[in-house]
A and B are shown apart, each in its own frame.
Chain A
Amino acid sequence: MRNKRTNKGLLVLAALAALLLALGLAACGGDDDSSSSAETAPESTETGGGGGEEKEQVSVAMVEILTGVSFGQEIAEGMKGFAAEDGAVDLQVQGPPTVEPEVAQKMAADLLATGPDAMGVAPFPPELWTRTMKNITEQVDNYLVFNERPSSLPEDVSAAAIQLFVGTDDKSEAREMLEETIKLAKLPKSFSGEIILGQCVAQEAGVLAQRTEGFDEAIAALIPNAKVEKFTSEVEPQKNTKAWTTELAAHPNAEIATGTCDQDGTSLYKVIQEKGYDLIVGAMELPPEVIAGLKDGTIIAAMGTNWWLQGYTATRMLAEAARGEELPEGWVNTGQQLFTKADIAEVEERASDPASFYAAGVEELFGSGMPEAEPIENAWK
């Protein structure tokens, strides 16, 4: 009896191991998500975009902050969009499912070992990436950072190993969104009601801190007498929704609400639908719930960072640099766009066909060759 149980157990374990192996081989042998390889035959000359010129096959490795949220996925889509368009880029996109800087850096180190021609990383938080960024500059000729600046503070950026940042102006986009929300709600300057600001990760420096500063500037400019309540709304979507449910219940007289992350917009929409709060809401990013909110008026304004364009731009710059073009130094601003109810059609095009939506943006950036870069210190203004 005991032997039969042991044998059964061994069979179960063997089956589990075999299943694991099969899944793993299927994941890497099929059309996997983490890399795109150009399907060029050896003598292929037409690889798209180049008007008949043979493009040099190059390898580009990218490491994101995390891949388990929508902005990370949009960035990856932009990267793969470029690789598919170019046709001669061996692209590897990696990143931990959640925020794990040590894991992300291990991924970067492993990708470095594969000897890519170019590499891009999102160094969050920058303080932990000092050694890795230095290693990248020593082992790869072409590199940049995207999504996250190479240092948290502008006064430290000159010491950063990587001096090219592809990303957006988080402070100004947050300021623009909240200003538009306040204007559309027609709030007077004498407004003294309560405004709730959520920050999904409590930060004093970095992308989310920049957005919070932008909110502060908008409030100071347009409704300086408002009572501001800030709280940590959590990254994980379910926790974020619970946090907003509790916060709004604790502040039933709040009149305006917004948050720094896409989860905040999602949660606000869900909580308002469930509880029926009468709130003026603005949102950062455009998850499906925020789009629904724009349509039905729950959300007045939403700022959409050009994540797809950011991923596309970073990858294209690296691929072209690997083929001999010179990378600029500084900040390449891939921008953002504000959406209201009137822009629903554009919002839907952006979600369904980003390559078409961002075609004009691509032309603006690459129309004269490599994009121009502003002084990197401007990325904090």
Chain B
Amino acid sequence: MSETSTPQPAAAAPNQAAAPPPPSGATFGDKAREGIRRAFSIDELGPLLALIALVVFIGGFHSDFLDKDVLLNTVRSAAFVAIVAYGMVYLLAMTEIDLSVGGIYALCIMLAAKWMSSIDPWVAALLAICVGVALGAVNGILCNLFKIPVIIITLGTLSMFRGLVQIVSDGKPATGIPLDSSFFEKLGGEIAGVPAAAWVVVVLGVVLTFVFKKTRFGAMVRAVGSNHQAAEFSGIPVLRIRLYALMLVGGLAGLAGVLSLAYFQGADPTVGAGFELQVIAAAIIGGTAVSGGTGTVPGALIGALIVAVINSGLIFFSIDSNWTNFVTGAVIVIAVGSDALVRRRRAARALQGT
């Protein structure tokens, strides 16, 4: 994707094109209008409103859906996807897509489970996350070596990593997992009544949002996506940034895998099928455009939650599960289409304002 995208001017993020702050002495009405304008400029607002609307709609018809355990369970199931989707936001901002995240996720789960039968589960988990980072590095090195887009290389590594799962597991589920270890109790259980995975996804979201928006690395990621050539000319080490982003995604896939293992307490060669599509869908539904240059890490969590809420809603409304894929796909189309229209409107308004 990065080789063929049309270079775009490195523009400021759309939300920075909002009207300037009101002058001192502005009335309360002016300030309120300005606040509302800023609020509606937030990238995540649309997906957040959609999520709230969905929860209210489903809860309105089925009050059981608003049960604390149901909502926390929904957050937990979305967390595994959202954690990896955070990394996918970085890649999408660079107009790249990593298709191998499902394979990395599955391989890290299987390796961690296998190692746990002979070493401390916490150490095994850490090693598995390191393997995830290493696999991300493999993707990055291959892309840089052959100078081809990430999506092409990861089309191959997806199958390679999935194949490694079969080889490592010998086609069998992992056995001898020490389920009485504190690893499963702490990471698979709850902390202060909230699933551990939910805590991890929130804290990680805050950290990665800061990195994406406020650090040099994040700025370079966005600059590469905005205009690849301009980024190169300005001295940004594009290939190295891409490598780091892929390592980040790999590490996050490993972390999600380890959390998943802690909760499900088992590892099977079939785990993680279709995971990469869920991750990409979450990032896109959450508001990250595939055109690059921008992205929203919190949006990835919201996107994952939207998909999880919809899937739960189908259950509560007793709708045939055959509708799941159709509904998820339709939500992606609506999200992508809405985002494109909103961005076009903002750009038009920004041009009119200059």
Show the binding face of A for B, using Cβ within 8 Å: 2-3, 5-6, 9-10, 12-13, 16-17, 20, 23-24, 27-28, 32-35, 67-68, 92, 94-103, 105-107, 109-111, 113-115, 125-131, 152-153, 156, 201-205
Interface pair B270/A107, CB less than 8 Å apart: no
Residues of chain A within 8 A of B334, CB atoms compared: 13, 16-17, 20
Contact: B268 with A125, CB < 8 Å? yes
Q: A34-B318, A204-B171, A204-B172 are in contact. List 8 more A-B contacts (CB 8 A).
A: A28-B319, A34-B320, A92-B318, A110-B70, A110-B73, A113-B70, A130-B266, A201-B270
With a cutoff of 8 Å between Cβ atoms, the chain A residues found around residue B65 in the complex are 113
Count of CB-CB pairs between chains A and B under 8 Å = 150
- Once the chains bind, are A205 and B320 in contact (CB under 8 Å)? no
Q: Which 5 A-B pairs have the closest CB atoms?
A: A127-B266, A204-B172, A127-B173, A110-B315, A35-B318
Instruction: Find chain B residues with CB under 8 A from A103 CB.
Output: 311, 324
Contact partners of A129 in chain B: CB under 8 A: 264, 266
Given contacts A16-B330, A125-B266, contact A9 B315 (CB under 8 A): no
Shortest CB distance B189–A (Å): 10
Instruction: Please state if B318 and A28 are interface contacts (CB–CB under 8 Å).
Output: yes
Q: What are 18 contact pairs spanning A and B, CB under 8 A?
A: A6-B345, A13-B338, A16-B337, A20-B327, A20-B334, A24-B319, A27-B323, A92-B315, A96-B324, A100-B274, A101-B264, A106-B308, A110-B312, A128-B265, A128-B268, A203-B171, A204-B171, A205-B172
Contact indicator A128/B266 (Cβ below 8 Å): yes
Contact between chains at B321 and A97 (CB < 8 Å): yes
Q: A6-B344, A9-B341, A128-B266 are in contact. Are A106 and B322 (CB under 8 A)?
A: no
Q: How far is the CA of A33 from the CA of B319 in the complex (A)?
A: 8
SS class of chain B's interface: helix, strand, loop or mixed? helix
A153 to B172, CA, bound (A): 11
Give CA–CA (A28, B327) in the complex, Å. 14
Q: Compute how far the CA of A34 lies from the CA of B340 in the bound complex, rounded to whole angstroms.
A: 36
What interface size band does chain B fall in?
35 or more
- Shortest CB-to-CB span from B198 to chain A, Å, is 14
The minimal Cβ–Cβ distance linking A210 to chain B, given in whole angstroms, is 14
CB-CB contacts below 8 Å: B241-263 with A: 260, 263
Nearest B residue to A99 via CB reads B270
Instruction: Tell me if B327 and A24 are in contact (CB < 8 A).
Output: yes
Closest to B73 in A: A109
Which of A2, A107, A113, A114 contacts B344, CB < 8 Å? A2
Q: Which residues of B contact A107 (CB under 8 A)?
A: 311, 315, 321
Set B271, B333, B341: member contacting A6, Cβ < 8 A:
B341
Name the A residues within 8 Å of B120 (CB-CB): none
Query: Complex formed: what's the CA distance from A103 to B317 in Å?
Result: 17
Cβ-closest chain B residue relative to A10 = B341
Query: In the docked arrangement, what's the CA distance between A311 and B268, Å?
Result: 26
Most chain A CB within a 10 A radius of its CB, from B264, B316, B320, B324: B320
A285 to B242 CA separation, bound complex (whole angstroms): 50
Which residues of chain A are near B188, meaning CB under 8 Å? 131
Any chain A CB within 8 A of the CB of B13? no
The residue that B320 contacts in the complex, of A5, A33, A101, A111, with Cβ under 8 A, is A33
Q: Which residue of B lies closest to A96 (CB)?
A: B321
In the assembled complex, the Cα of A205 lies from the Cα of B169 at a distance in Å of 12
A residues in contact with B172, CB < 8 Å: 203-205
CA–CA, A68 and B321, complex, Å: 10
Contacts of A127 in B (CB 8 A): 173-175, 265-268
Nearest neighbor of A25 in chain B, beta-carbon distance:
B317
Assess the A113–B64 pair: CB atoms within 8 A: yes
- Minimum CB–CB distance from A124 to chain B (whole Å) comes to 8
- Residue contact B263 to A125, C-beta cutoff 8 Å: no
A2→B267 CA distance, assembly (Å): 52
A15 to chain B, nearest CB (A): 10
CA gap between A244 and B165 in the complex, in Å: 24
CB-CB under 8 A from B316, the residues of chain A are 110, 114
Across the interface, which residues of A come within 8 angstroms of B341, CB to CB? 6, 9-10, 13
